[in-house]
Chains A and B, each alone.
Chain A
Amino acid sequence: MDTLFAIGAGAYGATTVTYLASLWTERPSVGRLAVWLLRATLVFWSALLVWWAVDTGLSGGTRLGLGLSAWSLCALYLLLLRRYPIAALGSFVTALSTVLAVLAVLGLFVARPHPVLTGALADWLLWIHISLAFVGIVAFAFATAVSLVYLLQARMLKTKSRSELRRRLPPLDVLDRLSLRSIIVGFPFYTVALLLGSVQAVRAGEGTLRLSYVLAVVSWVIYGVVLQARLAAGWRGPRAAILTTVGLAVAMAVVARYSLGLG
C-alpha cells in the first residue's frame, strides 16, 4: 500500500514535468500527453483512495483528506478546462497536487495518526469538519495556482516579454475571475469547518491554544480580507494574488502539522 501511494505521488510528479514540458515546446502532442497522463494518474489515485478509506476508516482522516485534495484539485482543473482556456494552468495545478500527494505519503511513512483522529471524539462531527476543511483548501489551492499564473503572466506583460510562454498562458482577466470564484466557493466551507473545529476543541475540553488553531484562524482571516477587499474595494491583480498564495501557505501549514502527527 505504502509503495503504491509513493508510485501515485510519483505519477503526479511525472504529470507536472510533462505539463511543464508542454509549456516550453511547440508540439501540441506533449500537451495532449500531459492530459492523458493526468487522467491515468487520477484513475490510479482514485483506486488507492478507495482502498485506503475502506482499510482505515476515520483514522485515515487527514491523509485521506490530503489524498482527496490532490485528486479534487486536478479533477476540478480538468472540469474547468472544458470551459476556460486554461491548458497552461496544468503545470501549476499538478505541482500543487504533487505537494499534497507527497504530504499524504509522508504521513503514511513518518507519523502515526494524531490522537484526536483515533480517540473518543473521532466521530461523524470530526469527519464533517475534516471534509469541509479540505473542500475549502482545495478551492484555495486552485485559487493559488491560478494566482501564481496570474503573477507570472502580469509580469511578462509588464516587462514586454516576447516569450512564447506569454502567448500560452491564459488571459489575465480569466485568471482573475477564476481565482475570485474559487475563493468565493471555498470560503464558506472553510468557515464552517473552523466553527466545527472549535466545537471539537470544546468537546475535548482543551484549555490551551494550539498553534494549529491559531494558524487556521490566521488563514481564515487572510481569505476573509482578500474577499472583502476584492468584492467591496475592487482589489485585484498582484496584491490579491500574493495574499491568496500566503493564505494557502498558512492553511497548508495546519494540514502539514496534522499530517505529521503534530496537531
Chain B
Amino acid sequence: MASPSRLVVLGLNHRTAPLQVREQFAIPAEALPDTAGLARAAGFGESFVLSTCNRVELYATTTDPVLDDEALADVLAKVGNARVHVVRPHVYSHQDGPAVRHLFRVASSLDSMVIGEPQILGQMRTSFEICRVAGLTGPSLNRAVERAFKVARKVRAQTGIGRHVVSISSVAVDLARQIFGKLESRTAALIGAGKMGELAARYLVQAGIETLWVANRSPERANAVATALGGHPRDLGELPRLLTEADIVVTSTGARDYLIDKASMKAALKARKYRPIFLIDIAVPRNVDPACNTLDNVFCYDVDDLTAVANENMVSRQREAEAAEGLVAEEAIRFLREMSSVDIKPTIIALRRHADAIKGAELERALRRLGELDPKQLKVVEMLADGVVNKLLHDVQVGLKQAAASGDDELLRAARALFALPEDDSSEDP
C-alpha cells in the first residue's frame, strides 16, 4: 500500500537568512511554475513556491515517510540556483502538523517581519494561483492552502492583529484621519523634501489627499519630489501662505531654529478662520515650536509623539498575535483531523466494495442451491445477507474512523492487509 500524502514546507526567511542570501531567491512571478516544477523533479508530488522579499518557501506533498535534511536543502538550493552549502545553514523545514501550522501562520501574517501586515496574504494568493493554473498543485495542497486563506481571514476578523498601524508615516496618516475624516478634499504641504519627509508625503498622497505642495531650500529638489509625488513645487518663502492654506503640514528641514513658532501659527490660524491644522514635525531638531499645540484647532505631533503611538500599536499587535497563535493552532489541529478522516474514505469504500462482492457471490451460490423461492422468501434471504455484512462492517468502520480521528494510520494499514484490499480500489463509489 502507498503511504498517505504528507505536507512538507522548506524555506528560508528574514529570521533565518541575511538579505544577501535572501536576495538570491527573489523569484519573479513568471518563473514560479518552473521553480515549483523543480520540486516535482526531485520526487515531490504537488507543489507551490512563495517568494517575497522576506521569504522563499516551497510547499509540497510527498509520500516519502522519511525526508533527508540534506536532500531538502538541495531542493531549495536548486530553487535559488545557489550552492547547497551556502543555503543549508539557513534552511528550515516542517512536515505534517508543523507544516500545516507554519502555512497557517504565514498566511495569517504571524511569521511576517512586521506582524499583522496585510500584504503577505495577497502575495500568497498570487503565487498559489500561478502554480495552480500551471497544474502544479492538486487536491491536498489546494485544500491546505484554501484553508490557510480562510484561517487568515478569521484571524483578521477575530483579533485586532491588523487594526493599528505601526510605521511613523502610517501613524501620521491615521491621526490626520482622526482630525479631518476623509482626506480626499484636503491639502498638504511638505516643508523640506528630505527622505523622511518624502516618505510621509507619499503616505498622504496614497491616503488620497487632493493637493500636495512641496517647498524646499533647493528648488530643484522641491521640483523633483513634487513631480515624483504628483504635487506642486512652492517657494520656501511662501511658508506663511502655506500655513494659511494647507490642512496638513509636514516639516522635515535641517533648520536649527523653529520654522513655525507660536506667533506665526497664531497669525496663520486667524487668516485661515480657525480651520484645524495638523502639524507633523519629523525633523530633528524640531521645526515647529511645541507651544503651537496650545492653540485651539492646532494639532502638533513631533517624531517622538509619532514613535510613541507606533510603539504602542506594535505592543497592541503583539498582544493580539498571542490570541491569533492560539486560533491558528486550533485550526491546524482541526484541519489535520479533517484530513485524517478524508484519508480513511478510500479504505472504507474499498472495504464496502470487497464485502459486497463476497456477499453477492455467496448469495448467488446459496440461491442456486435453494432452487425456486417465492418473492417473500427471496427478500428474507437477501435481507439476511445484508444484515450480516452491515453488522460486521459497522464496528470495523467505527473503529477505523476513531483511529483516523486520532491520527493513527496503523489500523488503516492493518485493515487493508487483513481484508486484502487492493491498493487502487478507491476511485469509484461502491
Q: Are the CB atoms of B274 and A26 closer together than 8 Å?
A: no
Binds A, one of B92-100, B196-204, B301-309, B408-416: B301-309
A-B contacts, CB under 8 A, total = 51
Q: Are the CB atoms of B178 and A162 closer together than 8 Å?
A: no
Q: Are the CB atoms of A173 and B312 closer together than 8 Å?
A: no
Instruction: Determine the chain B residues whose CB is within 8 A of the CB of A236 once the complex forms.
Output: 274-276, 297
A171 to B173, CA, bound (A): 13
Q: Quick check: is B54 within 8 A (CB to CB) of the other chain?
A: no
A171 to B181, CA, bound (A): 5
Which parts of B238-292 form the interface with A (CB within 8 Å)? 273-276
Q: Quick check: is B346 within 8 A (CB to CB) of the other chain?
A: no
Q: Quick check: is B194 within 8 A (CB to CB) of the other chain?
A: no
Q: Are the CB atoms of B274 and A235 closer together than 8 Å?
A: yes
Q: Quick check: is B397 within 8 A (CB to CB) of the other chain?
A: no
Instruction: Determine the chain B residues whose CB is within 8 A of the CB of A167 once the complex forms.
Output: 164, 178
**What does the 1/0 interface line of B303-330 toward A look like (CB < 8 Å)?**
0010011001000000000000000000
In the complex, residue of chain B having the shortest beta-carbon distance to the beta carbon of A232: B273
**What does the 1/0 interface line of A145-159 toward B look like (CB < 8 Å)?**
000000001000110
Q: Are the CB atoms of A234 and B178 closer together than 8 Å?
A: no
A85 to B181, CA, bound (A): 9
Q: Quick check: is A237 within 8 A (CB to CB) of the other chain?
A: yes
A81 to B100, CA, bound (A): 42
Q: Quick check: is B293 within 8 A (CB to CB) of the other chain?
A: yes
In the complex, residue of chain B having the shortest beta-carbon distance to the beta carbon of A239: B296
A42 to B308, CA, bound (A): 43
Q: Are the CB atoms of A162 and B309 closer together than 8 Å?
A: yes
Q: Quick check: is A160 within 8 A (CB to CB) of the other chain?
A: yes
- Count, chain A residues at interface, CB 8 A: 22
Interface centre among A160, A171, A237 (most CB of B within 10 A): A160
A236 to B297, CA, bound (A): 8
Cβ-neighbour of A234 out of B160, B179, B274, B296 (below 8 A): B274
Q: Quick check: is B175 within 8 A (CB to CB) of the other chain?
A: yes
Q: Are the CB atoms of A26 and B160 closer together than 8 Å?
A: yes
Q: Are the CB atoms of B179 and A171 closer together than 8 Å?
A: yes
A158 to B175, CA, bound (A): 11
A145 to B364, CA, bound (A): 87
Q: Are the CB atoms of A172 and B178 closer together than 8 Å?
A: yes
With A171-B181, A174-B181 known as contacts, the answer to whether A234 contacts B312 (CB < 8 A) is no
**What does the 1/0 interface line of B206-223 toward A look like (CB < 8 Å)?**
000000000000000000
Q: Are the CB atoms of A162 and B180 closer together than 8 Å?
A: no
A171 to B274, CA, bound (A): 17
Instruction: Determine the chain B residues whose CB is within 8 A of the CB of A166 once the complex forms.
Output: 178
In the complex, residue of chain B having the shortest beta-carbon distance to the beta carbon of A170: B181
A162 to B305, CA, bound (A): 10
* 9 residue pairs, one from A and one from B, having the closest CB atoms: A234-B273, A171-B181, A237-B297, A162-B312, A173-B181, A174-B181, A173-B180, A160-B305, A237-B296
What are 29 of the A-B contact pairs (CB < 8 Å)? A85-B181, A157-B178, A157-B299, A158-B293, A158-B299, A160-B301, A160-B305, A160-B308, A162-B312, A166-B178, A167-B178, A169-B178, A170-B181, A171-B179, A171-B180, A171-B181, A172-B178, A172-B180, A173-B179, A173-B180, A174-B181, A233-B273, A234-B274, A234-B275, A236-B276, A237-B274, A237-B276, A237-B296, A238-B296
